[in-house]
Structure 1
């Protein structure tokens, strides 16, 4: 009989693979018109997405097989330091959010949020007895979150900065921080958030649209697509919004394509798969032996949950910039970073107590 340590959470692994397969088809459907028009090849985006998905799965499998997640403690500061350096290099040498390293083009913020969670999990475990102190425990931890969030915000990625900040705050709170310390930070962030919005005119316009000052074009087209889908959808490959009506239909608004082609029922099925991932992730966090594993598993699961929630919210009209839907949207950095995160989560699942599989 095999011991629990020799097994991974196969339900979690299977759920992620299902989403990746769904994503491959949705990306093909969402890009076939654009790819043929722009590159004279209907398979241009599909080929690249399959390659990135395969690379993500390969990295995930290698992490499951070869990594002992507990070793991440020893390299947590190094991992975090490299991520911060890449973020700084992006500001100096890259574009708004992208950094070119040889043939590779990366979005460092996608990897920085995971690096931050690894480092925070290590710091919380190491300094748990000080966590009740604002100055000695909470402040150093929240400073780590502020650093990564600020670097992301300077790259003009408000929504990603928000995701990083809330994910980091969740991990700190889950680790035992006092609620009043969390409340102080959230209250202090309100004027800072307002200032960040006012700093960029397009953010002000997006926020005003939420209060009825004129719906942005992409939001309107997203809602039209979801409305067209009805209960059962218009059918695979029959989306109208992909035909240059909906910008970034294959990335920031792929949930709209899902809802248009497969309707409410199809969208509900995908949401159910995500729910399974969240449930299994938090079960792993509950069942793992050590605090570092608990913190890291919960942080990764919450990060994926929040990213999914915000992506769907944007498709439904939330006044925020779009972000990729985990495991489904087109995008190499997002796909690989999420596969790394799940690879670590599955590695943690090998070291859990009795976990029903």
Structure 2
């Protein structure tokens, strides 16, 4: 094999994700330092748990990148999708938590929707490749793709996870659009879907309150924006260069879930506007490398699977940063590879592992 044709993973993408994981360890430790010390009498209580999840995610990413040929995944796409549907139904019946998003299998607790999004993208990429020759046909080309996206996002929505459902829906629609379906077909189904999305965004009282508080932050529902306002205070306190690592004040019970849904605020407070721009740059660089892999993938399955995974992770990061910055209504969504949590970390690492494996098949 010629040197120019040697197979190797996208080292830049690997470096970007590894950097995000390292940043996550630093910020999770900083954002949990106070609460871990006061509640658990151990400053490293959360860090130890997060480190194990990062380590497991890293191992999973490497395993998928090196040993799991993405072309073999195509053969199991239907079975993966069926498994996703079964898990999404099971979590509605046996799910734990106020929003029934968690499923327990023995000692393992995991958020099903985090893994469902990857499973859906695998099956969607498989269907696009299989039906590429009739993609412009509504009945046999477009509708099966839209049905898959609507079904998965709908089941996730029933778990009272509106933001995750919306991200899955938008990412799936983008992938369908990139597949080359007729715009009029897409417009018809989106016009039908839009009222449903609006209905579910206001049908739950807490969602309506968040939306109203976002529209009128100084109104009677200003208390609903408490987290969002505290997040903005954190970003503002950081100034240009930040208050320094480990010196955040918002983590001290001012900002609930500072280590999860609002971790970008702690990062911005400690590393400032410059640090925040650097972190945003990493996510945009991730997006560029992911789309580049999609562009040069050797088959349609690889092209659309890498594009789907890239959009899923990138849009999640944008929504998290948008919420913390006050650009979007308050909601809970973790920052990929940085926020505390296991399900999101493992599922995103699976996605990146597949991305890296697809990049390895490209002749450089």
Q: TM-score range by the shorter chain?
A: over 0.9
Distance 2:302 2:165 in 1: 25
Q: 1:316 to 1:151 in 2, by over 3 A?
A: same
1:256 is the counterpart of 2:253:
no
* Corresponding residue of 1:338: 348
1:10 has 2:19 as partner: no
CA distance in structure 1 between the partners assigned to 2:185 and 2:138 by the alignment: 7
Per-residue deviation, residues 52-107 of structure 1 (Å, max 9, x unmatched): 00000001111111111011111001111112211111111112110111111100
Aligned-residue Cα RMSD (Å) equals 1.1
Contact 1:4 1:350 (C-alpha < 8 Å) held by counterparts: no
- Deviation of 1:197 after TM superposition, in Å, equals 2.0
Task: Report the CA distance shift for 1:102/1:316 in structure 2 as closer, same or farther (over 3 A).
Answer: same
Mapped to 2, the partners of 1:159 and 1:201 lie a distance apart of 15
Match of residue 44 from structure 2: 43
Separation in 2, partners of 1:78, 1:100: 21
Q: What residue in structure 2 maps to residue 328 of structure 1?
A: 338
SS where residue 6 of structure 1 aligns?
coil
Q: How does 1:298-309 map to 2 (within 5 A)?
A: 298-309=307-318
Q: Does structure 1 conserve the Cα–Cα contact (< 8 Å) formed by 2:7 and 2:363?
A: no
Show the 5 A alignment for 1:52-63: 52-63=53-64
Length, aligned pairs only: 354
TM-score normalised by the chain length of structure 1: 0.97
Q: What does residue range 112-123 of structure 1 map to in structure 2 within 5 Å?
A: 112-123=116-127
Contact 1:97 1:107 in 2 (8 A): yes
Misfit runs of 4+, over 3 Å: 1-5
Whole-angstrom distance in 1 between the partners of 2:165 and 2:26: 29
Measured in 2, the distance between the counterparts of 1:330 and 1:162 equals 22
What is the TM-score normalised by the length of structure 2?
Answer: 0.95
Native 8 Å contact 2:228 2:330 kept in 1: no
Q: Report what 1:208 is aligned to.
A: 212
Give the distance between the partners of 2:338 and 2:22, measured in 1 at CA.
Answer: 8
The runs of 5 or more residues in structure 2 that have no matched partner are none
SS in 2 for 1:100: strand
| Offset from partner CA, 1:143-179 (integer Å, 9 cap, x none) | 1111111111111110000000011111111111112
